[in-house]
A = this chain, B = another copy of it.
Amino acid sequence: MDEIVTAGLLVIGDEILSGRTKDKNIGYIAEYLTNIGIDLSEVRVVPDVEEEIVDALNALRQRYTYVFTTGGIGPTHDDITADAVAKAFGVPIDYDERIVSLMRARFTDTDLNEARMRMARVPRGADLVANSVSKVPGFWIGNVIVMAGVPQIMHSMLDAAAPKLKTGRKMLSETIHAGMREGDIGTPLAEIARAHKDVMIGSYPFSNGGLPDTNLVVRSRDPKALADAKTAVETMLERLRAHSAAKG
Q: Name A's B-contacting residues (CB within 8 A).
A: 11, 14-23, 26-34, 39-48, 52, 74-79, 107, 111, 113-116, 118-119, 150, 152, 171, 173, 175, 182-187, 189-190, 193-194, 200-207, 217, 219
Contacts and interface: CB of A to CB of B under 8 A. Distances in A.
B27 A173 contact: no
A30 B43 contact: no
B78 A203 contact: yes
* Secondary structure class of chain A's binding surface, majority of residues: mixed
Chain copies in the assembled complex: 2
Contact of A200 (B14, B26, B205): B14
A76 B190 contact: yes
A16 B30 contact: yes
B19 A203 contact: no
Nearest to A32: B19
Given A21-B204, A201-B77, A204-B21, A26 B40 contact: no
A41 B28 CA distance: 23
Contacts of A33: 19
